[in-house]
Amino acid sequence: MMRPYLDTFSLSGKIALITGAGRGLGLAIAKAMAGSGAHVILNGRDPGRLGDTAGSITAAGQEASTAPFDVADPVAVRTAFDEIARTHGHLDILIHNVGARNRKPLLEFSDEEIRDLVETNLVAGFTLAREAARLMLPRQSGRLIAITSIAGHVARSGDAVYTGAKHGLTGMVRALAAEYGPFGITSNAIAPGGFATEANEAMLADPKIAEHFSARTALGRWGRPEEIAGAAVFLASPAASYITGHVLTIDGGLTIKM
Ligand SMILES: NC(=O)c1ccc[n+]([C@@H]2O[C@H](COP(=O)([O-])OP(=O)(O)OC[C@H]3O[C@@H](n4cnc5c(N)ncnc54)[C@H](OP(=O)(O)O)[C@@H]3O)[C@@H](O)[C@H]2O)c1
């Protein structure tokens, strides 16, 4: 049976950079994008891990390469984008997925710890989006997608720096939608709730905390990393051409439950 409408969800021929693609949500998104036809450029700080992941994607007959760099180092970011420009000539999709965690009361943060968390979770978002836009503007086409968090629009105690940075990232996504909309570039966010990734290992290992989160979600469980990937493919695809400035919450109903 012919299903031509499915083509509007295809990423065939697209070049996509995914930051933090070595594990967790970034890895799930990278695999889904490669499986949807994109050439995925995998970023992280561990070249060995990225190489293994790229190897498993190419072994499956899909396209992947690696770009190891620290997203919080603007010089390394520029160098990586220069390399992408040399190799591919342009970029279609940026998934800014890296996010660092440091949960504790504000009074326990040193100046350096505050700066580090904001550099990685917020400042890097601007640096990456700016360099991506440079490669998208000449073609008047592109997709900027940031993985924010439900902490980008709600808050809980003991997590002020991460929450503030993610709120800032949500603002950036909306502002860039306004700035780049006239040039054919959309800017959207995906706001995850609780997903079972390495970053949440400690919480998942504590039955009381793990169960508390499950009970608070409408679906009664944590998310699996692959459950974020369809939304990223959709927002990057031609099917989402008129969606911009949007924050798509994927939290199993955590933030809508009374
Ligand atoms: N998991 C959740 O429940 C949840 C909920 C809400 C929001 N989020 C957001 O979703 C995103 C992904 O979360 P996750 O749970 O998948 O995280 P994760 O398991 O900690 O994975 C983060 C990835 O980013 C890479 N990374 C970390 N710092 C980096 C840096 N400075 N430069 C380049 N790469 C870096 C890590 O690899 P290396 O260490 O090898 O570099 C790793 O592959 C984050 O933005 C997070 O805030 C997650």
Alpha carbon distance 141, 125 (integer Å)? 19
pLDDT tens digit at each of 258 positions of the chain: 788 899 999 999 999 999 999 999 999 999 999 999 999 999 999 999 999 999 999 999 999 999 999 999 999 999 999 999 999 999 999 999 999 999 999 999 999 999 999 999 999 999 999 999 999 999 999 999 999 999 999 999 999 999 999 999 999 999 999 999 999 999 999 999 999 999 999 899 999 999 999 999 999 999 999 999 999 999 999 999 999 999 999 999 999 998
**What's the pLDDT at 111?**
98
Pocket test for ligand 1, best of 17, 31, 45 (most atoms within 8 A of CB): 45
Query: Does residue 253 fall inside a structural domain?
Result: no
Residue 252, in any domain of the structure: no
36 lines ligand 1 (CB under 6 A): no
Q: Using a cut of 0.85, tell me whether the model's pTM lies above it.
A: yes
CATH number reported for the structural domain that contains residue 174 in this entry? 3.40.50.720
Using the mean position of ligand 1's atoms as its centre, give its distance from the Cα of residue 100 in Å. Answer: 6
Phi, psi of 18 (to 5 degrees): -120, 115
Q: Is 1 among the domain residues?
A: no
Whether 254 is covered by a domain: the verdict is: no
* Rounded Cα distance, 93 and 128, in Å: 11
Distance (Å) from CA 60 to ligand 1 centroid: 25
DSSP string for residues in 69-136: --TT-HHHHHHHHHHHHHHHS--SEEEE-------S-GGG--HHHHHHHHIIIIIHHHHHHHHHHHHH
Residue with tokens 């561990």: 46
- Which pLDDT does position 109 carry in this prediction? 98
Rounded Cα–Cα distance for residues 151 and 137 (Å): 30
Q: Compute the distance from residue 3 Cα to the ligand 1 centre, in Å.
A: 36
Kindly state whether residue 156 falls inside one of the protein's structural domains. Answer: yes
Give how many domains the chain has, as a whole number. 1
Residue 225 lies in a domain: yes
Q: Is there an atom of ligand 1 within 6 Å of 198 CB? A: yes
Q: Which structural domain, as residue segments, surrounds residue 46?
A: 9-247
CB 126 within 8 A of CB 174: no
Assess whether the C-beta atom of 216 lies below 6 angstroms from ligand 1: no
In this prediction, residue 228 carries a pLDDT of: 98
Q: Cβ(95)–Cβ(145) under 8 Å?
A: yes
Residue 256 domain-assigned?
Answer: no
With respect to residue 148, please indicate whether it lies within any of the assigned structural domains.
yes
Can you give the pLDDT at residue 1? 78
162 is catalytic: yes
